[in-house]
Amino acid sequence: MSWGDWLILVMVIVAGIAGILVFLNKKAYKRMNEQNEMIEQYKMTQTAYIIDKSRDKITNVQSLPKAVYDSIPKWSKFMKMYFVKVKIGPQILTLLTDKRVYNALPTKKSVKIEVAGLYITNMIGMKSPEEMKKAEKAKKEKAKEEKKLAKAKK
């Protein structure tokens, strides 16, 4: 086989892999849209006291119901997820969330959250990621200024 034949063979293989990836991507987006519609349908607002936040594998979390653990796909059991331990009314629950909401939730405070089953979809009054970065930057600058003032007083 000449170099031209090898080049054509490699291009056909790459095109085949790209086609498969496009097909899988469309299928994943369709599934994601269906799940988002279901979340929007069952979403309700609750006032909750955030007890604790953790990022761990689902196999290490003991407070989830067995039915939830059994319904999780096998590949998800090895991924680290974001868990939030909350008190809603008299119940203490462990809920799942995504990174954006996890970073915005304060611990040891009462907040209004939107819950769909065992999933926290949103926090009422949550800042956008850009606002959170600006606030964090301002907090660091303020801490630096306080350190400078403390050194100047000494």
Q: Can you give the residue ranges of every domain in the chain?
A: 1-42, 43-147
Distance (Å, rounded) from C-alpha 55 to C-alpha 73?
A: 18
Mean pLDDT of the chain: 88
Q: Write out pLDDT tens, residues 80-130.
A: 999 999 999 899 989 999 898 898 888 898 999 999 988 898 888 776 667
14-18, 85-89, 139-143, 144-148 — which one is most confidently predicted on average? 14-18
What is the reported pLDDT for 154? 67
Q: Are 64 and 84 in contact (CB under 8 A)?
A: no
Domain 43-147 belongs to what topology? OB fold (Dihydrolipoamide Acetyltransferase, E2P) (2.40.50)
More confident residue, 154 or 25: 25
Q: Which 3 state secondary structure label does DSSP give 2?
A: coil
Q: Which of 43-47, 57-61, 64-68, 145-149 has the highest mean pLDDT?
A: 43-47
Mean pLDDT within 45-54: 92
The DSSP H or E segment spanning 31 is helix 3-42
CA distances from 7 to 12, 13, 17, 19, 53 (A): 9, 10, 15, 18, 52
Q: What is the pTM of this model?
A: 0.66
Euclidean distance between CA atoms 63 and 54, whole angstroms: 13
How much is the average pLDDT of 132-136? 81
pLDDT recorded at residue 135: 83
